[in-house]
Structure 1
Amino acid sequence: MSDQVNGLQHNQEWPELQLPDLLHSSETLRQVHATIEKEWDFLQRSACQTAAGRAMWKHVIHDPLAALLAGENYLRNLHEKMMKDRLNNAHETSGVILAVRTLWFDSRLEDFLNSPNGREAQVVLLGAGMDTRAYRLNCLKDSDVFEVDFAEVLEVKTTILQAAKESTFDSQHSMSKAKSLTRVAADIRENDWMEKLQIAGFLPQKSTVWILEGILYYLAQSNAMQLLRILASNCVLTHTVILADFMNKSSTTLSNSVFQFYSDWPDQLLPSIGFTQVKLAQIGDPDAHFGLLNDPLNLFNKLRSLPRSLQTNPDDGAPCCRLYLVEASGSPDQNSAHNKESVIQS
């Protein structure tokens, strides 16, 4: 994916904001985004904020639908922040964490689907929000894709995509590249979401990639752990991969934080519940960089030089707010080998 990530040089001006004509010309879209502003809570609105991040970093992320899904308010807000960062010569530009996170998830998903275990694997996006991977990633051509989220979020998303399809907007962007795409209305905090997923066609014994992007830390500790244990239990049935981002404790204890679940050591947590292989990266690591974090004084680069056990920076006392990008997997074969090794060691 290296051809995609030749980011703008730090001293360049950020491009002028260009809104899709459809945001203004479509009465349907105007009404939908007005409803989002009036009725959605912070968790639901985070889907639009993430879409705005993908839209504003379009020089590295090809997502033509993102701006329509984000809406004008979120696009303008992020663009203003980015302009201020550029004018102030900030060491990192607003939204860069969303760009790096998106590219990391894309690259890890693509790598797995191109591997022997990943061919024709199911892909499930939990808390899918305004995610458009099914529309922009060719690697999903042999995969059945399931998007799980609140009913109202999926209804709004479907309405926006349908409006794009029926307009003069380039119709090829509104066509799914996946083998199939199924939206499942469910709340992953409840006990029935897996049942609803299976009713929709999900096969528990088929190799699966679970994508949990920007969702775990919004959940209560008990809900997040229950969700992770359910996914880990699938490792005894089939080859199971989760791609997830975890915040550490410092990130969730800021005064204005809406986040709840955290893990300082997800690479220890996940093996303890049944995953046998775990790879962890921090924003700015070689596989979580994508040419977007070249300033050595960048916040993420400074954090990487400090031990992960530190909750505050010894230089300035600031909280060490970290985001971990984690790929974990397990399978019946791996679990069997892991159990045998545990018996031998004991």
Structure 2
Amino acid sequence: MSEQENGQTEESIWVDFKLSGLLLSDKVRELHASIEEEWDSLQRSACQTAAGRALWKHLIHDPVADVLAGEKYLTSFYEKIKKDRLNNAREISGVILAVRTLWFDSHIEAALNSFDGEETQVVLLGAGMDGRAYRLNCLRGSNIFEVDFPTLLQMKTTLLEAVTMTSSNGNQQPAMMARSLTRVAADIRDDNWLEKLQASGYNPERNTVWVLEGILYYLSNLHAVQVLKTIADYCALTHTVLLADFMNKSSTTLANSTFHFYSDWPDHLLPSLGFADVKLSQIGDPDAHFGLMDDPLNLFNRLRNLPRSVETHPDDGSPCCRLYLVKASGSPEKDIP
């Protein structure tokens, strides 16, 4: 649906920004103040992601994103968007996040549909402040597991409880879309995260969609490959779908102290670990476009027109920073090539 068909103009989409009453409550402000004092940059990135989803609300309808993001991250993200629009930037802040989110949403739905109504599980590793359990209708028949740091999940639960407590004051309480939601306090860099997941009710023989959005590149190479291999091993037990995003090597230089794991060829890596079918997309490809990549000269379309082996752009010598969106799958019935 175009903006005009939806009764919105580009201008109205971005100027219609105001903080909800929930965000201005003493309880929510107190909780977010503790986030700033106690969390490291990796944990706080979960709030930044939620802020992006909240501000791109004309495409991502997330009823809990603003409360999970907090006033600071919403305001700073909005200022970046406003600055980009004033400067007529080819890529508005958050557009990558919007495309990435919509790609994962659409592929989660497609994967669940491929199970033909069988009972399914969706595991979000490094779930952060993800609100999919509250916004995706396709999850109604699925059991959802969110895996992340204990402190993060406890804060997320407390923030959502604050929403529930104030719903009697005129705010609408967010409705759970998923069949069930289980939060699993575990660090996927530890050897016992899978044991904790299974102890929380995960069934290794049930069809599963594994979602690793915005998490792999924060891990070391050893930990990232271990996690991917662990998931691949389930292909021998049941129908298994992996949805993940990968940075190439050049992208990790954007934050030398933050990003670690990369793969320039995840479509080669994943079959070597045990996945039978792998499909790779880049931002701007037909399934990773969503009407947001029309400018042929934007960064992402310029990169798509270059071979993936090219590391620096021939026009200006800038590094070719790519984000790959990857679906991989396997099942006991399929032979690994």
Determine if the TM-score, normalized by the shorter chain, exceeds 0.5.
yes
C-alpha distance in structure 2 between counterparts of 1:162 and 1:254, whole Å:
36
C-alpha distance in structure 1 between counterparts of 2:111 and 2:2, whole Å:
20
Retained in 1: the 8 A contact 2:63–2:134?
no
Retained in 1: the 8 A contact 2:13–2:58?
no
C-alpha distance in structure 2 between counterparts of 1:265 and 1:6, whole Å:
40
1:255-334 alignment to 2 at 5 Å? 256=256, 258-334=258-334
Retained in 2: the 8 A contact 1:13–1:86?
no
1:187-266 alignment to 2 at 5 Å? 187-254=187-254, 256=256, 258-266=258-266
C-alpha distance in structure 2 between counterparts of 1:160 and 1:4, whole Å:
32
C-alpha distance in structure 2 between counterparts of 1:5 and 1:13, whole Å:
11
User: What SS class does the counterpart of residue 129 from structure 1 fall into?
Assistant: coil
User: What SS class does the counterpart of residue 306 from structure 2 fall into?
Assistant: coil
Write the letter of the residue equivalent to 1:241: V
Residue 37 of structure 2 is matched in structure 1 by: 38
Q: Does 1:86 align with 2:85?
A: yes
Number of residue pairs matched by the alignment:
334
Per the alignment, do residues 320 and 256 of structure 1 end up closer, same or farther by CA in structure 2, a change over 3 Å counting?
A: same
User: What SS class does the counterpart of residue 211 from structure 1 fall into?
Assistant: strand
Write the letter of the residue equivalent to 2:137: N
Could you state the TM-score of these two structures normalised by the residue count of structure 2?
A: 0.95
Per the alignment, do residues 195 and 266 of structure 1 end up closer, same or farther by CA in structure 2, a change over 3 Å counting?
A: same
Q: Matched residues, percent identical?
A: 64
User: What SS class does the counterpart of residue 24 from structure 2 fall into?
Assistant: helix
Structure 2 gaps, min length 5: none
- Per-residue CA deviations over 1:60-115 (Å, capped at 9, x if unaligned) read 11012101100011111111111111010110100000000000000000111122
Could you state the TM-score of these two structures normalised by the residue count of structure 1?
A: 0.92
Residue 29 of structure 1 is matched in structure 2 by: 28
| Aligned-pair CA distance for 1:294 | 1.3
C-alpha distance in structure 1 between counterparts of 2:312 and 2:16, whole Å:
37
Per the alignment, do residues 243 and 118 of structure 1 end up closer, same or farther by CA in structure 2, a change over 3 Å counting?
A: farther
Write the letter of the residue equivalent to 1:162: E
C-alpha distance in structure 2 between counterparts of 1:127 and 1:223, whole Å:
13
Structure 1 gaps, min length 5: none
- Range with bigger deviation, 13-22 or 261-270: 13-22
C-alpha distance in structure 1 between counterparts of 2:144 and 2:322, whole Å:
30
User: What SS class does the counterpart of residue 88 from structure 2 fall into?
Assistant: coil
Per the alignment, do residues 12 and 65 of structure 1 end up closer, same or farther by CA in structure 2, a change over 3 Å counting?
A: closer
C-alpha distance in structure 2 between counterparts of 1:92 and 1:320, whole Å:
16
C-alpha distance in structure 1 between counterparts of 2:262 and 2:303, whole Å:
17
| Aligned-pair CA distance for 1:253 | 2.1
C-alpha distance in structure 1 between counterparts of 2:266 and 2:257, whole Å:
20
C-alpha distance in structure 1 between counterparts of 2:10 and 2:297, whole Å:
13
C-alpha distance in structure 1 between counterparts of 2:285 and 2:74, whole Å:
28
Where in structure 1 do 4 or more consecutive aligned residues deviate above 4 Å?
A: 2-13
* Cα RMSD for the two superposed structures: 1.9
